[in-house]
Structure 1
């Protein structure tokens, strides 16, 4: 199988993983899509991704990777916490989904070599997703910005919520900016990604994604400042533009950030804090405290938890929190130990973004876009594959001509 053909299959597998993690709950679409149909599509995408990854890696060649190993431990913990069916049979179904997800990452780890291949796959796939969002907004602006979500942009063709769209837009914007600074793409191509993504991010009014993008880029570019003149120039211009924007458009930025909410609603994080307090105050047995109640829909009392750490604590217990913390710490530690490079900067951006978003978004304990972001970071931090030198063919030695031989002294 040719290298180009294999690369296309790997890219297809990554696209199917992205499709699987889009979810099935969200805004009403222009053409009503039954949730059962969406779930069939997303689960079918995951099964196809695993089958394709297995077909292209029949010899089961994998690379040792701390990230996927910790995910495997989290999978085992999820099975242990779900077997008592406290969260119903759906918990075992979610465990099976997580098993296929982790298995596919193991099969793909063969191609994790510290290069930017999976960064490009990531940008392409989420750009396609954002393209469907933009198409829905053009076809039906009313359905794309409904009053139910306060006029924020949602997916009108596929049920996507404003936080999801904001997350995808922020991630590909940050990665595209870093590729430009690293001179791995031209400015025109990057602008075709960055400009529409920023417009969609602004229309979603997603504060978490915006803060994650700004802080993540600051940390990533900061890691390049000492070795890249382009990074130093960009950083200086960014600081200048931020200062001018804060002075000239401070009131507009504040209005966008508050989204018309009252001070009380803003300080309670749009009601999230009430759910968190109730979850922490709920009585738990020792088993539930250590291992959780099993994989669920990331809700408590019928309300979304919207915090990765508390969602993991609820579903996988303190042990799960320790494993998720180990994932972030290990990836972050490896990134800090790597010498400055574009791959390291992209990994720092993805890790920091996921860490920031984990405060108001769930997803670090189950198959989700956040685990895909971290998988890309793990591929960037992997050691380059050693290339064996080409064997030197055995060439028979030609006998020197008679006139070139040294005369024998007898």
Structure 2
């Protein structure tokens, strides 16, 4: 990518919130290495299970790479912030509280020693976010990091499609696009494509990126999104953009024009391509399959009907692989209830409400619009995707929203020692 979207991060203001009085403000701007830390966090959340690849990759090797990325991210963030200067963040504080039920439930080893490993992973993830809060100042800096990382992932997916179309669109996934070079599922690819499409559109409306650079990102991402046939990502993208652009309509003429043209194009497409859109949405599934959400509802009913002790209801059974009875849960709220209990559900709900409330209280701006898009997308996706209770791309999206909602801190002048004024004779003043 070229142009503004791939340039270095915009300088941010000093960030001293949450520091002791008189602490020296951090250096202006965000070090480029912070972008590497963010990319390593994203790499860790890619996961190790998915489709078959052209060259079979052992799951242990992928797990070593993803965990190595997280350890490297924490070590690099610590090296960049040796004095442990952090900003007060309700989002990261609530994530830290989420560790309590996670550790308590995982200590019972009901789901094996893997639960403790996942707790350690979540701790490193949250610790890295704490170290990065020093540079959270409400600027689009981390938005650019986010787009670059996930666009690189989509480039890898596109390369796999070119190298081996049969492997990239296998029959066992109904001909939907998967990762042929790195094991990625259609929902994952659809999520990454939808997120960077939405963020790039908003940067374009805010004149933070030129049209050529935006087209380089948006056009191929739309193609890949359509090839995944991912309904949740598509709905999340559309609804999230409507809410985000709606927050800019009163203050941005570009947003008003884009909103009007989008409505017109949507109406034309709905009339001209109604049958094609219906076929794409149904993916050849029957009405019965659609009504039970492609089998998800059966897993949800079984999970809710399973007998639980009082401790399991309150704290959960511990961090697992987000499955129940060998089948994926595919619902963030039920996954959190299963793993972290009612306490975990309460913390995650508070987290979403706090971010949404802060976004509504902020004056209209580009960072606020990007945060609204991310929060609404994650809220919509939480119904059919798991990930709000553990280190995942969804928590990284919400962390980005929290960084955008952080108010720029004003540097506090450090008082200097009072020097007694020296008496100057009147004749010397002439």
User: Fold conserved (TM > 0.5)?
Assistant: yes
The corresponding residue for 1:408 is: none
Residue 82 of structure 1 corresponds to 106
- The equivalent of 1:376 in structure 2 is 400
Query: Counterpart in 2 of 1:182?
Result: 206
* Residue of structure 1 in register with 2:232 after alignment: 208
| Pair 1:305-2:329 in alignment | yes
Tell me if 1:121 matches 2:145.
yes
**Aligned pairs for 1:141-220 within 5 A:** 141-220=165-244
In the other structure, the counterpart of 1:20 is 44
Distance 1:336 1:213 in 2: 19
CA distance in 2, matches of 1:152, 1:251: 19
Equivalent residue, structure 2, for 1:323: 347
Q: Normalising by structure 1, report the TM-score.
A: 0.95
1:138 corresponds to 2:162: yes
2:285 to 244, 257, 261: 261
How do 1:40-55 and structure 2 match up within 5 A?
40-55=64-79
1:245 aligns with 2:264: no
**Structure 1 match to 2:115:** 91
1:283 matched residue in structure 2: 307
In the alignment of these two chains, the number of paired residues is 402
Moved over 2 A (4+): 1-4, 387-392, 399-402
- Does 2:385 match 1:366? no
Q: Deviations over 1:168-190 (max 9, x none)?
A: 00000000000000111111111
The CA deviation at 1:19 is 0.4
Whole-angstrom CA distance in 2 between matches of 1:207 and 1:41: 30
Contact 2:229/2:280 (CA < 8 Å) preserved in 1?
yes
Question: For 1:193-237, what per-residue CA distance to the aligned partner results, in whole angstroms no more than 9, with x for missing partners?
Answer: 000110000000000000000000000000000000000011101
For residues 341-360 of structure 1, the aligned pairs below 5 Å read 341-360=365-384
- How far apart are residue 89 of structure 1 and its match? 0.4
Give the match for residue 64 of structure 1: 88
Separation in structure 2 between the aligned mates of residue 180 and residue 335 of structure 1, nearest angstrom? 20
Task: Please give the alpha-carbon distance, in whole angstroms, between the structure 2 residues aligned to 1:148 and 1:352.
Answer: 31
SS of residue in 2 equivalent to 1:60: coil
Q: What CA deviation, in whole Å up to 9, does each residue of 1:286-338 have, x standing for no partner?
A: 10011100000000000000000000000011111000000100000000000
- Secondary structure of 1:59's counterpart equals coil
Corresponding residue of 2:251: 227
For residue 2 of structure 1, report the CA deviation from its aligned partner: 7.9
**CA offset digits 1:29-53 (Å, max 9, x no partner):** 1111000000000000000000000
Secondary structure at the counterpart of residue 410 of structure 2:
coil
Q: What TM-score results when the alignment is normalised by the length of structure 2?
A: 0.90
Supply the distance in 2 between the matched residues of 1:257 and 1:373 (Cα, whole angstroms): 25
The whole-number CA distance in structure 2 between the counterparts of 1:391 and 1:169 is 50
Considering Cα pairs closer than 8 Å and 6+ residues apart, tell me whether 1 or 2 has the greater RCO.
2
For the residues of structure 2 that align with 1:298 and 1:243, how far apart are their CA atoms? 39
**For the Cα contact (< 8 Å) 2:101–2:341, is it kept in 1?**
no
Shift of 1:7: 2.0
Distance of aligned partners of 1:198 and 1:390 in 2 relative to their CA distance in 1, 3 Å threshold: farther
- The answer for the alignment partner of 1:333 in structure 2 is 357
Q: Do the aligned partners of 2:101 and 2:316 also contact (CA within 8 Å) in 1?
A: no
